[in-house]
Every structure is written in C-alpha cells, then in structure tokens.
Chain A
Amino acid sequence: MDKLTKEKIFFTIFRLLAFTSLLIVLTLIFYILSKGLKVISLNFIIDYPRNSFTEGGIFPAIVGSLYLVGLAIIFAVPIGVLGGIYLSEYTKENPLTETIRLAIDTLSGIPSIIFGLFGLAVFCKILNLKVSLIAGSLTLSILILPTIFSATIESLKLVPKDFRDASYALGATKWQTTWEIVVKTALPNIITGVLLSIGRAIGETAPILFTGATFYTRGLPESIFEPVMALPYTIYGLLAEGTFPQKQVPIAFGASIVLIVLVFIITLPGIIIRNKFRSKKKW
C-alpha cells in the first residue's frame, strides 16, 4: 500500500471517529430535548412543584443547586487557590510537597459517591449538621477542591520564568512578584479552572445524595441548616422513585434541559476567557 492511500485511509478513520463523538453529543441533546422540551415554559422555571410533583415547576431545585454550588465555591476557592499559590510559589520540591501533590491527584480520582459517604460521616454525623445545605455544600467543596488546586498550580507553572526574572531585576520582592505578575498572569486560567469545576459540581448527584439534597420542599430553605432541593437529585428522584411516571418523566427531562443550560451558562465565561487568553498569549 503506498503512502498516500495509507494516509487517506487513516484520515478517513480519524474523521469518522471525530464525527462519532459529535454525533453522540448531538443525539443526547436531541433525545433530551424531544422528551423534555414540551414541559419547558417560564412557569416551569419560576414555579414550585405541585400535586406531588406532577405539575408546576422546579424553581426550588434551581435555587437549591445554585445555593449548594455557590456555598461550595465560597469554601473551596480560597483554600484551593491560596493553597495552590503557596504550594507552587512558596515551597520547594521536597518529599512533603510531593506527597501533598500526590494526595491531590489521588483525591481528584476518587468516585464522587465516596465523597458523599465521607460527607455523611463527617459533616452530617460527627459535626451533627444533619442533611442540610451546609453539609451538602461542604461535601461538594471537598469534591471540587482538588480540581481547583490542580488548576491553580498548573496555571502558575505556565507563567514563564522570564516574567519573574524581569520583576526581580527591577527590585521587586517575592510578594510583589507573586501577586502583581505571576498570579495576575495566571488568573484567566485559574478562573477557567474554577468555572469548569462549578460546572462539574452543579451536576453531581452522589455527594449531595445523603448530605444536602431532598426530594421535595415546600419553599426555599430558610437557613443553611435545612435540606434543599437540587436539580440532579430531582431528576434522579423523579425517574427512580416517581409514582406518576407519565407526568413526572417529562418533568425530569425538562429539569435535565435546565441543568444542561445552567452548566453551559456557568462554563461559557470560562471558555470565552480561555480562548481570549490563548489568542493573546505570545510567549
């Protein structure tokens, strides 16, 4: 077989494979839309569920998801970003920092249900927070912490040494160089990492299953010690435990559409920032 034929065959295979992944995504979206689009309306988004969740909307689940993720971010971002900056900029490579890094990598590979069990044991039981918004968001924050940590460290490592040299050569201190040059340069990438981790957190069911989510609440939570409704858990509940499938399955698909759109809205700025950053990057 001559080289050209070989090239053609392989490129055709690659192209088909690339299209396959696109096809899978499109099929998925089309399927969910076809099943759930009919329940989508303004009311579906701003109304409370009614008649045993066979009518009405999913407003408390949307708000609950945003609460859970918002709080998780408040807990995880300072620890992840500042810890990442410390580990990357202020420590030298030694067995301890290597171990910390290994621990972070291992954490990001642990299935989310394990985080759920951990949250149940530590936050709900030992700290006696019960099933609540705070316990759920703390569990989620532990889940996304390794992602934020790694994203921060990777972004800082991408900042060229030249920038640091130039800053030091002007008489800048370590503090000034780190904050004014290194962190500012890495910031778009760090923000992207954080936004992608929010996108992941909002769709997770397992961590909040035992720790923060509940199938139905009458209104919005009045304190962080109450359980909340959440989109992924609502979808799960309606499909797995719903007693009126004819009416509830479309609601579950409608909630799926809302969840996908929400993830898209949250990660979109991250994608835009990253693309802008990439096109500008010239070092």
Chain B
Amino acid sequence: MVKISVRNLKAFTKKQEILKGISLDIHENSVTAIIGPSGCGKSTFLRSLNRMNDFFEDIKVEGEVLLDNKNIYDKDVNVFELRRHVGMVFQKPNPFPKSIFENVAYGLKIHGIRDKKTIEEKVIWALKEANLFEEVKDKLDESAFSLSGGQQQRLCIARAIAVEPEVLLMDEPASALDPISTLQLERLIEKIEKGVYHCNRNPQHTTGRKSL
C-alpha cells in the first residue's frame, strides 16, 4: 500500500530552487532512506512531508504530497493533526528541559489525554519501543539532559512514537552520535520497521549496509 505519494514536489526560495519536481511513492510498513550530499535538500524534502517548512517564510512549496490520498497542502488540512500523524526526529537530539517521563508524556498531554494511568502506560510503552526503558526506568523523574547523546536521541524517538504516528520522519538521527549509539539506533529502526511504523530516515552517517 502506498502511504505517501509525492507528486512533482518543488520547493524554492527567492534565490534558488531546492527541490526540483520530486515524485515518488513511499510504502506502508517499510523504511525508506534518502541519501545525498549535504545541502542537496534532504531536510527540506523531509520537512515538506509534515509541513515543518511552513515555519520558513522564504521557502515556498509547490506540488502535492498525498497522505492516504489526501493532499496535505490542501486548505482544509489541520496542520497540527497532520504532524501528529507524521512525526519527526531531528538531527540533533532535542529533548525538552523536562524530566525523562515528562518529555514522552508531553505529546500525549497536548493531544488531550488526561488520565494519569493511560499516560503512564503509554510512556512506558514508548520508552520500551525505543529500547530505552531498561536504562532509565529508575530515573524517570530526572532531567532529560542527564542522559547521554545517544540516549537523548532514543528519548526523542520515544517521544515521537508515543503519540502513535503513522509515519516517522528521521532527519539524519545518528549524525551527532558515536558509533555504538548509532548501532543501537539502527537496531531500533529495524525494530520499528517490523512493527506497524512507516519510517523514513536519512542515513548519511549511518552505515549504507542496508539498502532500504
């Protein structure tokens, strides 16, 4: 099943065209990797799939991105709802200055989940999914900044999957990590692939071993 269908997607600033008419289909329950030299527009492409480019006033996007056959650039699309379904993990780990627990719980809370028990269950589930729970189970109340870079990035993944997105965009998630953390992250991506997630990552600094 095609989950996202990109049709003639263009992105440009006043000075240059960043994406020159990209068309591709991204399938459900698979990992799609995008490879290219730095500055070629990988991030711009990823950010156009959940409309994070909306925050850059000088970037204009044309063309269609169909998520389940619905163009996400249509006027009637609720962009906040869209980003809930199309999650994102960034290049640099960017946990909130909150506790480990609160970092993961934040997404649930902003989407109106108030029941403490539900939140707790989902946070633990997400941390387990992100292969982080065993390492942090005794210090859920500690600041997320007490974690190592690799742990922080897995926390960011836990945070992203806690709201159960249908698609997860990862923008060079391992580029700021050491080799061991990178390996852990790759295992995690493999695990997510086997699960219900559809995952889109950019492995510039991870190994090219898997041609996804």
Contact = CB atoms under 8 A, between A and B. Distances in A.
Contacts of A280: 97, 143, 145
A181 interface: yes
Interface in A166-183: 166-173, 176, 180-181
A2 interface: no
A171 B55 contact: no
A54 interface: no
B143 A163 contact: no
A262 B56 CA distance: 48
A232 B106 CA distance: 48
B80 A171 contact: yes
Interface of A: 92, 160, 162-163, 165-173, 176, 180-181, 185, 280, 282-283
B10 interface: no
A173 B88 CA distance: 15
Contacts of A162: 90, 92, 94
A170 B163 contact: yes
Interface string B126-164: 000000000000000001010000000000100110010
Interface residues of B, number: 29
Interface in B67-110: 80-85, 87-88, 90, 92, 94-97, 106-107, 109-110
Chain A binding site: helix, strand, loop or mixed by DSSP?
A: helix
Chain B binding site: helix, strand, loop or mixed by DSSP?
A: helix
Interface in B186-208: none
B126 to A, nearest CB: 12
B22 interface: no
Contacts of B113: none
B110 A169 contact: no
30 contacts: A92-B57, A162-B90, A162-B92, A163-B96, A163-B97, A165-B55, A165-B94, A166-B95, A166-B156, A166-B159, A167-B106, A168-B52, A169-B52, A169-B87, A169-B88, A169-B90, A170-B83, A170-B110, A170-B160, A171-B84, A171-B85, A171-B107, A171-B163, A172-B80, A172-B107, A173-B110, A176-B110, A181-B106, A280-B143, A282-B145
Nearest to A160: B94
A180 B106 contact: yes
Contacts of A170: 83-84, 87, 106-107, 110, 159-160, 163
A170 B109 CA distance: 11
Contacts of A171: 80-85, 107, 110-111, 163
